[in-house]
């Protein structure tokens, strides 16, 4: 235990673990298969990172999101921890070099996407590694009942035959009972130790407010709740419109969506993190992996497509454990609109096949080619060129991903990088013969060590400053050097990328599992109905509804949500009406009185409450409200 605490303090600067972390780590160190369910922000990553550092060897971490992998690795490297990542789209030589380091115990944590697990390159190197732990992040992706099903996760268990005595830790922030059971079954976890912290967020108040004028209500909420906020909407266009509306009403706001250039996104995100922008209006592309603990309010102007999605997005409020609010603004037709969008946005199987065929033509991939290749893809441009609906393209790509044909990475930043492929003798001769490129080659060698051994990240701007030339000229020169086969050069891009996991097929040979397609359709439909039920249920505590969805059926009412507050108000109103009724009966026991007289004789009660109670009692037949507002008690 002391060693674990020493590692925690040395690399993270904390003196103690959060509740539950120590027990999870002890299970891992005891060589037990372990399933961890902790809410967002609960410190899941440390549960495998610290045991990995405490044991000899390397930890293999399977993760579905490249952007998150890169963030995790960058954070570990900043702390002085040897970590690397392998993901679809990397070049063979670069992956080979990373795996070589792993085989010779120079890396403590290797992150990789599930698609890379069963490549020949990885399997052969895995046999040479001393693996101390297999960690499966976002483990709910293995379940077809989950909202983020990733078919490559189903093959993870097969890798265990190469590392038979290595314990497995599976981690997730959202999992229903069915999903948990599938995680254990599909990962083939043995004698599994389950650690589940309640998904309850005691500091977070959930509310669903029925409101026709959503924008005005949003302004009111933001005026009453100080601090940083997030507003989630369902379209890119809406992010810009709502942000403009907020600024017009003197609220510091900006917008964020996946269609923005990466440098623009990073700038907007950093301004929000640094509190230069108060409110970020965004699609669900925003928030994943962002560790900002002091968000005070998250507002949803539209319904998400699953309660898992809503719980994660709402849970970005109050990670500092201080009071925070999650508000869903709901209109009467929101549920039907969500159903309609789902039905009209889902393409049929023939449309999916046509989109697959169009994609191959658009990317100029020959039949039988493309396997393992990654291509830039502007989804909207592609859809427009082939007259497909963009939303159909998105869902078709999702289905093709679930069938194992391709993989889509949305708007991932790829820094410019290069590698010199000539040996030193060839390079020297080239510099002598091509004097125009000599200065640039020298600048690359001086500023970027290891460039002759593998890919290194470079900055065209930095090279331009060193040489005193325009960036555009540097880029042209680098492209020319690539044509001369001096180096391999990849220019920075943040466009979505599609990777073909299998060679392109003819449209007739593209097989889609109809049963699986219909099953996923039904799961999505059930997820949507669960969201609508949550929005429309005004009787059960919001926190209890969410917890029951995740299997916690015995939770207490939170006392803070709109349902609990309204119930408390109703109880208070009933008690007050009973007191007013008793007082009215006493005042009318001897003779009838006018409404005005009764109001004046009950000075401690608001006049409207007195009048309302009189009307209710008249409706119940306990008193008579006659001409000139004369009130008579009915004696029984």
Same domain for 258 and 212: yes
CATH number for position 430: 1.10.10
**pLDDT at residue number 267:** 87
Residue 409 maps to a domain: yes
Q: Which residues contact 559 (CB under 8 A, 6 or more apart)?
A: 568
Structure-model confidence comparison of residues 509 and 148, the more confident one: 509
In this structure, what token pair is assigned to residue 436?
A: 């125009």
Asked if the model's pLDDT at residue 96 lies above 60, the reply is yes
**pLDDT at residue number 636:** 62
Residue 561 maps to a domain: no
* CB distance 507 to 357 below 8 Å: yes
Same domain for 363 and 385: yes
Q: Tell me the pLDDT band of 388, cut-offs 50, 70 and 90.
A: very high
Q: Tell me the pLDDT band of 109, cut-offs 50, 70 and 90.
A: very high
CATH number for position 184: 3.40.50.300
Distance, in Å, from the CA atom of 451 to the CA atom of 455, rounded to the nearest integer, reads 6
Residue 317 maps to a domain: yes
pLDDT tens digits for 402-427? 888 988 775 444 567 888 999 989 99
Which DSSP symbol is given to 414?
B
Give the whole-number percent of the chain exceeding pLDDT 70: 96
| DSSP-assigned beta bridge partners for residue 62 | 112, 136
User: Average pLDDT in the 296-314 region?
Assistant: 93
Distance, in Å, from the CA atom of 130 to the CA atom of 62, rounded to the nearest integer, reads 17
| DSSP-assigned beta bridge partners for residue 326 | 206, 298
Distance, in Å, from the CA atom of 355 to the CA atom of 401, rounded to the nearest integer, reads 13
Residue 560 maps to a domain: no
Q: Which residues contact 113 (CB under 8 A, 6 or more apart)?
A: 62, 63, 64, 66, 69, 86, 87, 88, 152, 407
CATH number for position 377: 1.10.10.10
Range of the domain at 628: 569-633
pLDDT tens digits for 526-585? 999 999 999 999 999 999 999 999 888 888 999 999 999 988 888 887 888 888 888 998
Same domain for 297 and 208: yes
* CB distance 156 to 62 below 8 Å: yes
What is the domain count for the chain? 5
pLDDT tens digits for 572-592? 878 888 888 889 988 988 888
Residue 235 maps to a domain: yes
Residue 504 maps to a domain: yes
pLDDT tens digits for 190-202? 999 999 888 888 9
H or E element that contains 265? helix 262-273
Same domain for 32 and 158: yes
Same domain for 47 and 63: yes
Same domain for 212 and 266: yes
Distance, in Å, from the CA atom of 542 to the CA atom of 548, rounded to the nearest integer, reads 10
Same domain for 269 and 216: yes
Report angle CA 547, 551, 552 to the nearest 5 degrees: 50
- Cα-flanking dihedrals φ and ψ of residue 168, to 5°? -120, 135
User: Average pLDDT in the 486-511 region?
Assistant: 85
pLDDT tens digits for 442-485? 999 999 888 887 778 888 888 998 999 998 899 999 999 999 99
DSSP secondary structure string for all residues of 326-368: EEEEE-TTHHHHHHHHHHHHS--HHHHHHHHHHHHHHTTPPTT
pLDDT tens digits for 134-175? 999 999 989 888 767 888 888 899 999 999 999 999 999 888
Same domain for 603 and 623: yes
Residue 556 maps to a domain: no
* CB distance 49 to 137 below 8 Å: no
Last residue of a domain, one of 196, 228, 258: 196
pLDDT tens digits for 182-225? 999 999 999 999 998 888 889 999 999 998 899 999 999 999 99
Q: Pairing between strand 630-633 and 623-625?
A: antiparallel
Residue 484 maps to a domain: yes
**pLDDT at residue number 494:** 58
Same domain for 37 and 108: yes
Same domain for 454 and 360: no
Asked if the model's pLDDT at residue 365 lies above 90, the reply is yes
Same domain for 441 and 403: no
Same domain for 41 and 14: yes
Average pLDDT, rounded, for the chain: 89
**pLDDT at residue number 415:** 66
């Amino acid at each position: 235990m002391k060693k674990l605490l020493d590692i925690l303090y040395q690399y993270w600067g904390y003196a103690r673990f959060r509740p539950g972390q120590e027990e999870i780590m002890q299970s891992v160190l005891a060589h037990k298969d372990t399933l961890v369910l902790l809410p967002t922000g609960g410190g899941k990553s440390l549960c495998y990172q610290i045991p990995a550092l405490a044991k000899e060897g390397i930890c293999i971490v399977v993760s579905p999101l490249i952007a998150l992998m890169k963030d995790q690795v960058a954070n570990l490297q900043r702390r002085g921890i040897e970590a690397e990542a392998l993901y679809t789209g990397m070049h063979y030589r670069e992956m080979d070099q990373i795996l070589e380091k792993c085989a010779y115990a120079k890396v403590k944590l290797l992150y990789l996407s599930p698609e890379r697990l069963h490549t020949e390159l990885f399997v052969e190197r895995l046999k040479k590694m001393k693996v101390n732990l297999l960690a499966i992040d976002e483990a709910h992706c293995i379940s077809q009942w989950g909202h983020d099903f990733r078919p490559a996760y189903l093959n993870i268990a097969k890798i265990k035959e190469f590392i038979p005595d290595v314990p497995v830790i599976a981690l997730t922030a959202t999992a229903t009972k069915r999903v948990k059971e599938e995680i254990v079954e599909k990962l083939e976890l043995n004698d599994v130790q389950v650690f589940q912290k309640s998904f309850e967020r005691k500091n977070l108040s959930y509310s669903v407010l029925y409101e026709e004028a959503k924008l005005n209500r949003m302004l009111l909420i933001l005026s009453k709740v100080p601090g940083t906020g997030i507003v989630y909407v369902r379209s890119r266009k809406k992010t810009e419109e709502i942000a403009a509306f907020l600024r017009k009403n003197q609220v510091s706001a900006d917008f964020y969506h996946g269609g923005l250039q990466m440098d623009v996104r990073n700038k907007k995100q950093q301004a929000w993190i640094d509190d230069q922008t108060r409110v970020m209006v965004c699609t669900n592309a925003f928030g994943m992996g962002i560790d900002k603990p002091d968000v005070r309010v998250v507002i949803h102007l539209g319904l998400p497509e699953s309660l898992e999605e809503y719980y994660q997005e709402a849970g970005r409020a109050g990670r500092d454990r201080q009071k925070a609010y999650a508000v869903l603004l709901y209109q009467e037709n929101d549920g039907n609109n969500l159903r309609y969008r789902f039905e009209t946005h889902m393409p049929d199987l023939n449309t999916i096949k046509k989109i697959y065929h169009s994609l191959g033509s658009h990317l100029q991939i020959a039949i039988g080619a493309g396997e393992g290749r990654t291509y830039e893809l502007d989804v909207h441009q592609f859809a427009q060129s082939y007259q497909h609906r963009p939303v159909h393209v998105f869902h078709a790509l999702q289905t093709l991903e679930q069938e194992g044909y391709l993989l889509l990475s949305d708007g991932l930043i790829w820094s410019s990088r290069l590698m010199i492929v000539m040996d030193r003798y060839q390079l020297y001769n080239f510099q002598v013969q091509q004097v125009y490129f000599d200065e640039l080659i020298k600048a690359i060698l001086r500023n970027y060590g290891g460039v002759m051994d593998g890919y290194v990240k470079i900055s065209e701007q930095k090279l331009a400053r060193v040489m005193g030339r325009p960036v555009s000229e540097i880029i042209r020169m680098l492209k020319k050097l690539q044509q001369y086969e001096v180096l391999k050069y990849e220019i920075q891009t943040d466009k979505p990328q599609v990777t073909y996991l299998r060679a392109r097929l003819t449209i007739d040979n593209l097989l889609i599992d109809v049963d699986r397609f219909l099953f996923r359709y039904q799961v999505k439909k059930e997820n949507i109905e669960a969201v609508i039920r949550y929005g429309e249920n005004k009787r059960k505590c919001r926190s209890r509804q969410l917890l029951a969805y995740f299997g916690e059926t015995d939770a207490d009412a939170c006392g803070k949500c709109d349902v609990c507050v309204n119930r408390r108000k109703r109880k208070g109103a009933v008690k007050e009406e009973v007191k007013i009724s008793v007082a009215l009966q006493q005042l009318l026991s001897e003779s009838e009185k006018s409404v005005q007289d009764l109001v004046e004789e009950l000075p401690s009660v608001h006049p409207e409450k007195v009048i309302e109670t009189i009307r209710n009692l008249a409706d119940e037949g306990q008193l008579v409200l006659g001409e000139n507002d004369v009130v008579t008690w009915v004696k029984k």
